[in-house]
Structures are given as C-alpha cells and as structure tokens.
Amino acid sequence: MEFLPDISFARKTDSEDPLRSFRDKFFIPKSSKGEDIIYFAGNSLGLQPKTVRAYVEQELEDWESMGVEGHMHAKNPWLPYHEYLAAQTARLVGAHKEEVVNMNSLTVNLHLMMVSFYRPTKERHRILIESNAFPSDHYAVQSQIKFHGFDPAESLIEMKPREGEFAIRTEDIESLIEKEGSSIALVMFAGVNYYTGQAFDFDRITKAGHAKGCIVGFDLAHAAGNLELKLHDWNTDFAVWCSYKYLNGGPGAIAGAFVHRRHLLDIAIPKLWGWWGQDKATRFLMDHDFRPIPTIESWQLSNPPILQLAALRASFDIFDEAGMSTLREKSLNLTGYLEFLIKHKNDNNIEIITPSNPAERGCQLSIRAKTGGKTLHKRLNDSGVICDWREPDVIRAAPVPLYNTFTDVWKFVEVLFS
C-alpha cells in the first residue's frame, strides 16, 4: 500500500477497509469528553467483544436453572466445553485440533510444558532465551533450572542483541545454537518480544535447535492473534500463550498450549497428572489408573473455568469470521502506516526500535524517545490515547486490525508530535 501523510488518506483507507465493520463488534472505551479513545494497548489487554456478555450469560443462566445438571444438559454442556474451542484455536496457531488446548494461565502452562520438555542431564542442561524476555519467563526458567538441581548462572544462556542494536539477528541465534547446542536442552524464545516488538523466525530457530538435538518451545503471548502461525509445520515442540492480549479473552483469560503431534503418544515424556487428563470414556469410573487422553488434553489437570471459556469463545468466533490472513494483511498496512507517519515527521528524538522489516514484527511498534519519554507518554494519555510505557524508555503502540483504524493511527501520530 502507498501511504500518504494527510488525514484524508487515512479516512479513505478506513472507508475501503474490508474489515471496517469489525470495530463495531467491540466496546471502545470513551474519553472524559465522551469520544472514542485511541486504544493502542491491545497487546496488553484486548478490548471486550460485545458478544461476550451473551456467551457468558448463557452459562450463568444454565447454572442458575440447572445447577450441576449443566455439565450434561446445559445448552452447551460443560463437560466437553473446552472441545468447542479446539478447532478455532488450532486455526489461530496453525495446528491440528489434538495439538491445542485452552487451560490454566500462561506461566502455569509454561511450567507444565517445561516439566515435560525440559529434562536436563549433566551434559545437556542449559536453556537459551532472549535476554529481554518477559520477567515471568525469566523467573520460570530460572526456577525450573534450580528445581532440577542446576545453577542458572551456568545453565541459563541469555541472548543479547549486538552492541547498539535492539533486535536479535536470526543468524546470531543460529550460530550460538550451532556453537553451544550440544549443552542446550531447551531453546525458549518469545514469538514476538514484548519489549522490542521483534517477531522471531520460528522456522529457522526451530531448525537450528533441532539440528543440535534441542527441544524448541515458544511463548506466543504477543504472537497469538497477531501473526499468522504455523506451529505444526514449523515442527515446534511446544508453545504456550495467554489469551487476554491480542485474543481478547478478557482480564486473566484462560490461556493456551500446543504440543506437537509427534509427542502426544510418547509415554516416556514426564507429565503431571490430573483427572481432566484422564481418558474421557472411563474418567467417571473413578479408578486410580491414569490412562491419558491421546491428545494434548492429557496435560489438563482440572476441569476448566466455563465462564472464561465462554468469553474466549465469543472472541474466537470473531477471529473466525475475519480470518487470520485477512487480519494480518490489514495489520501490515496499519503498522506500516504508523511507521510511515512517524518517519515522515523526521524527529530525531524519536526512534522506532522494532525491526523495520514487516516480516519481523506484528502490530506493535516500540517507540523510544531519547529524552522526555515519560512526559510524552503522559501527554498521550492525557489526550485520550491508551498505550503503555515500558521501563526504561519505550512507548509501546499496537494498532490492532480488528478494532483500530487508519484514522486512529493518524491521530496518534499527531498527538505524539504535538
């Protein structure tokens, strides 16, 4: 798309946007003046689909009128409720139905996956992650290393970008894995780094890891609902994500997990057991022999929160209607337009640290102000923009193709440079 800097271009593009009706499916928060806020924080908490209430109310009504009978007789029986989301989840991350499940929360799922896939030995005990990975991921990998009796000082490799750069080059990841791979048990990268907005090359990282016998897992917190993913084809061993960011599942939404098909029947893989992982046909015999479901559902421990699943389902129905490839197409233009306008202002206090190659990013641009960043962020907030500030000096702005517009982008840049 050829961009132009004036607002008439933004308005015209919005009017021709094939996804323009989707904004109406969401509640857009209002400013104190009663105007729609410019909401660029969908990377932090996605907005509420208007249909969520009805989906959740259905389950509240059935609980009200049936009590426990709802497990079998609710309009959407609760017993298999998580199964209703499997095909949609699989489409979102590029997987087969049996490879995905919605359960728990992100950090919990990361731990459950590491119980299964981080099995350190004396020779191979290290975990490779990006140095600026999200703190919870750092805590999780450190504690797993310690749990197995190893020392993070030796067993954790934190990969940094080159001096003076913000993104980590794929060739540097490949050569590090090539060099150190035989001591690395697990390569654990974000799909999209929360701070820089860099999207990693799943395919190349996975191939590099596998070539050295490492397990390769991804944290898709900032990638699910943002990028077009092909977890199965990439041969990813496992992945986890939360559903309250781009997936609009609501605060603290139930999270997701992926395990590649080739691992699903491998009984040598250790796993924590709970009754929701037990064979469905005989679960209620209440015996004490664990017969795992032959899908990723065998990682489930508890019966899931139905109200959470209902909310997520409302959002997934919208994703299905829009289609991930159409969303990505708009996203490339929307974020491209944001970059174009910022560069057009030619202000040398402002720098974009997110890669300029569209294939290496999703919705988000991380905008670094060399001076006065916090003041700038406050001005944005005071002017009806919601985007976030990440220490030490980055404003993250994520125009989301489901509900943001080119006009939002234009107005944001006007405030940024006002």
Q: Site residues (CB under 6 A) for ligand PLP?
A: 105-107, 134, 136-137, 190, 194, 219, 221-222, 242
Write down how long the chain is.
418
Distances 73 to 69, 158, 303, 351 between C-alpha atoms, Å: 6, 51, 17, 57
From 8, 46, 21, select the one nearest 222 (Cα to Cα). Answer: 46
What is the distance between the alpha carbons of residues 337 and 371, in angstroms, rounded to a whole number? Answer: 24
The nearest distance, CB 252 to ligand PLP, in angstroms, is: 8
In the bound state with ligand PLP, the residue whose beta carbon lies nearer, of 108 and 176, is 108
The nearest distance, CB 72 to ligand PLP, in angstroms, is: 32
Helix (H) or strand (E) holding 100: strand 100-102
First to last CA, the chain: 26
- Whether 67 contacts 46, CB under 8 Å: no
In the bound state with ligand PLP, the residue whose beta carbon lies nearer, of 129 and 338, is 129
In the bound state with ligand PLP, the residue whose beta carbon lies nearer, of 59 and 137, is 137
What is the distance between the alpha carbons of residues 29 and 384, in angstroms, rounded to a whole number? Answer: 10
The nearest distance, CB 106 to ligand PLP, in angstroms, is: 3
Q: Any bridge partners for residue 238, and if so which? A: 217, 259
Q: In what order do the strands lie in the sheet with 388-390?
A: 350-352, 365-369, 394-397, 388-390
In the bound state with ligand PLP, the residue whose beta carbon lies nearer, of 193 and 295, is 193
Per DSSP bridges, beta strands 126-130 and 156-159 are parallel
What is the distance between the alpha carbons of residues 380 and 345, in angstroms, rounded to a whole number? Answer: 17
In the bound state with ligand PLP, the residue whose beta carbon lies nearer, of 106 and 394, is 106
- Whether 296 contacts 371, CB under 8 Å: no
In the bound state with ligand PLP, the residue whose beta carbon lies nearer, of 23 and 396, is 396
Helix (H) or strand (E) holding 129: strand 126-130
- E strand intervals along 2-54: 38-39
In the bound state with ligand PLP, the residue whose beta carbon lies nearer, of 110 and 416, is 110
The nearest distance, CB 16 to ligand PLP, in angstroms, is: 33
The nearest distance, CB 286 to ligand PLP, in angstroms, is: 32
The nearest distance, CB 242 to ligand PLP, in angstroms, is: 4
In the bound state with ligand PLP, the residue whose beta carbon lies nearer, of 150 and 244, is 244
The nearest distance, CB 134 to ligand PLP, in angstroms, is: 3
The nearest distance, CB 194 to ligand PLP, in angstroms, is: 4
Helix (H) or strand (E) holding 119: none
- What does DSSP assign to residue 47? P
